[in-house]
Structure 1
Amino acid sequence: MIFEWQAQPWKNWTRLRERLPHAILLQSGEGLGEFEFAQACAQSLLCEDPRPGERPCGACRACDWFSLGNHPDFRLIVPESMAPEPGEEGAEPAKKKSEQIRIEQVRELADFLAVGTHRAGLRVILVYPAEAMNANTQNALLKNLEEPPPATVFLLVTTQPERLLATVRSRCLRFALPFPPPEPVLRWLKEQGLEHPEATLAGAGGAPLAALKAAGTDPDRLVFIESLGNPGFDPIALAETVLRVPLWDLAGWLQRWTYDLLLARVAGRVRYSLNHEEVISDMARHCDPADIAAYLRRLAQARALARHPLNAKLFVEDLLLQYQRLVARP
């Protein structure tokens, strides 16, 4: 799927295809439709009857296979937590699914790469998010990037390129998916039925899909944000309430709220939480800017660890206890 605001990046993609490299690192902000764009890129490479602008036709056998998730010349490598759920709906998972890409997933590519393509065309491997690979997994993938099989394209998608090994980055051609201008995004959000698209988009940091997600009936996010505006909230109880929310999302919500605290303290305005500007401005008056900045640095470190195995409850409790100390009134 190619979103309206991705028209220019898609033109850049079609130009790139004229001299297609064997490995591409698609760098994007989170919530810009980076996964959907990468999927469209992969499908366009496999499509047997592309439309003008190299868009996949959606009707050929290759596109049918791709849409069903069983194209023989395509592999999608994602964390277990993002993989399609087999079995019956509503079945209880036996354990929490990993948010990392395992080294076994990369090693399993050996058989896929050892044989020729089924349709006498390209073979495509899409890795998302690439930063979900630890160093060992990245090194396992590096062997394929250094000695790529013929007619093979690797698409690595990341919102945190700094977490990839320099050797991995150096083997890929970088392709940027920038933040879009607000006009097409606001138009799209209105088409999705959002009542307050400007405020919602601001709260999501300008990321359209993150804005759409935030506007949904997400009670966890609503409870979390409202609690942050109350210095007397119970950190332990709140951590228990939002335990099922991905740690990456929680840390991001805290980051944006805390950034607005700092901005309100030093500049008298907010950027993300437009609907809570009065509450944030009042809280910011009681905070030391240096302490807010220090907590923001702590959040950046925490978010970098959010996709790694850890004790989720202790992780959230620690962040919330630190936040409560930050906003405590004398």
Structure 2
Amino acid sequence: MQLTDYPWLTEPKNSVGKILPPALLIHGVEGIGKRALANYLAQSVLCEETSSVNDPCGKCPSCALFTADTHPDFKLLTNDDEDASSSGNDLGDTKKSKHIISVKAVRSLGTFCVTKPHRGHAKVIVIDPAEHLNQSASNALLKNVEEPAEFLHFILVAKHKERLLPTLLSRCLKVNVRPPDAQEAFRWVATQIDGQCKDPYRQELSIALSGNAPLSSIRVIADEDFFSNRESILSLLSQNQIDPFALATLCEKIEVPTLQRIIYALLHDLMFLNIQQDVAFHEDKKTELGRIKRSLSNKAFSRWLSLFNDYLKSASHPLNRRLALEALFLKWPQT
């Protein structure tokens, strides 16, 4: 791959320097292309035509093996599987999973870490998401990171770097990948969807909801369920008398991350309306938001937000989700 495909990654790539360190941590929000940068750096180091962190040639045997996910000197450790695997050349970020990266998976890399490269002069291990390493796995990894072979490089990818073992964190060069500004994100997303989204507002909303993270924005744009559920929730809440049971029935069918995104954006706009008489997300729904807001204070919305956050903590629990949602919407602020 070429980094020009992701122009906002050029600055963090340059901050790495010309030589890849033994341990590198790439961190930033979801959907920003952290894995893409990790793969670029790995391929760059393994490329047989480059001697530093630079664009891989894409033509040498090493690049061909990397693109085919069969390079013998590259390993990807992720929570998709307990065992170390080959590259999985995914340009997006790893989705959040319940699975941890176990000590067994880290120890399975033992032979790989000490044997010399099959090709060229380097070996690379990418760990994504690194914050899913459990305590034992982190300690096992630390032993390799503290005294790596001269040819070995670790690239850790994390959304929440603060969850990493402090001693492991201290051994890494840290690169923070920041989102582009809204205009740059809009231009990049527009070139990727190539006219598939006829509604420019939908694109703007998706970018705003994703915090300008381009890859996340594309996923939101393509999520028809998100936009239809957004319409339904706003419609039910804007009624003179809301029906908590209808809301619970609807929200029970919505995946928790999607529901969280809808509710957070809704409450943000309701509170913002009270302060600035404006909205940050639902520009096309000001009328509905005005009916929902009525004369309610931000204090009332803040109290309900606290209840919603409590609900999120137990949303994956095998209790009756419908009952929990009914109890939640029965406490929706009323005038």
Shorter-chain TM band: 0.7 to 0.9
The 1:26–1:134 alpha-carbon spacing in structure 2 relative to 1, beyond 3 Å, is same
Equivalent residues of 1:129, 1:158 under 8 A apart: yes
Query: Quick one: which of 217, 229, 237 aligns to 1:224?
Result: 229
Match of 2:250 in 1: 238
How far residue 263 of structure 1 moved from its aligned partner, in angstroms, is 2.3
Structure 1 gaps, min length 5: 86-96
CA gap of 1:16–1:204, structure 2 versus 1, over 3 A, is closer
1:79-115 Cα distance to aligned partner (Å, 9 max, x none): 22799x9xxxxxxxxxxx8543233222211121121
| Residue 56 of structure 1: aligned partner | 56
2:218 corresponds to which letter in structure 1? L
The residue number in structure 1 matching 2:301 is 292
Residue by residue over 1:224-277, the C-alpha shift from the partner in whole angstroms, topping out at 9 and shown as x without a partner, is 3234322335455335423xx4x5454344433333333233333222333434
Between the two structures, name the one with larger relative contact order (CA 8 Å, sep ≥ 6): 1
Correspondence for 2:217: 211
User: In structure 1, the residue corresponding to 2:17 is in which secondary structure?
Assistant: helix
Bigger drift between 173-182 and 269-278 goes to: 269-278
Q: Is the 8 A contact 2:101 2:137 kept in 1?
A: yes
Q: Which residue number in structure 2 is paired with residue 170 of structure 1?
A: 170
Superposed, 1:114-125 pairs within 5 Å as 114-125=114-125
Unaligned runs of 5+ in 2: 86-96, 238-242
Superposition pairs of residues 1-330 of structure 1, within 5 angstroms: 1=1, 6-7=6-7, 9-14=9-14, 16-50=16-50, 54-80=54-80, 98-191=98-191, 192=193, 193=195, 194-195=197-198, 196=200, 197-216=203-222, 218-229=223-234, 230-231=236-237, 232=243, 234=246, 236-242=248-254, 245=255, 247-285=256-294, 287-293=296-302, 296=305, 311=316, 314=319, 320-321=325-326, 324-325=329-330, 327-330=332-335
What is the TM-score normalised by the length of structure 1?
0.78
Give percent identity, aligned residues only.
27
Deviation of 1:174 (Å): 0.8
CA gap 1:174/1:186 in 2 versus in 1, 3 angstroms? same
Task: Report how far residue 172 of structure 1 moved.
Answer: 1.0
User: Residue 111 and residue 277 in structure 1: after superposition, are their counterparts in 2 closer, same or farther (change >3 A)?
Assistant: farther
Cα distance change, pair 114–82 in 1 and its aligned pair in 2 (3 A) = closer
Contact 1:23 1:171 in 2 (8 A): yes
Per the TM alignment, residue 175 of structure 1 is displaced from its structure 2 partner at its CA by: 0.3
Matched residues in 1 for 2:111 and 2:156: separation? 20
Q: Secondary structure at the match of 1:80?
A: coil
Deviation of 1:116 (Å): 1.1
| Matched letter for residue 222 of structure 1 | F
Counterpart-to-counterpart distance in 1, 2:334 and 2:308: 21
Counterpart of 1:226 in structure 2: which amino acid?
A: E
Distance in structure 2 (CA, Å) of the matches to 1:300 and 1:170 = 32
Using a 3 Å threshold, how does the CA distance of structure 1 residues 169 and 220 change in structure 2: closer, same or farther?
Answer: same
2: CA distance between counterparts of 1:138 and 1:315?
36
> Which letter maps to 1:221?
F
CA separation of 1:295 and 1:174: change in aligned 2, threshold 3 A: farther
Structure possessing the higher radius of gyration over alpha carbons? 2
Count of paired positions:
310
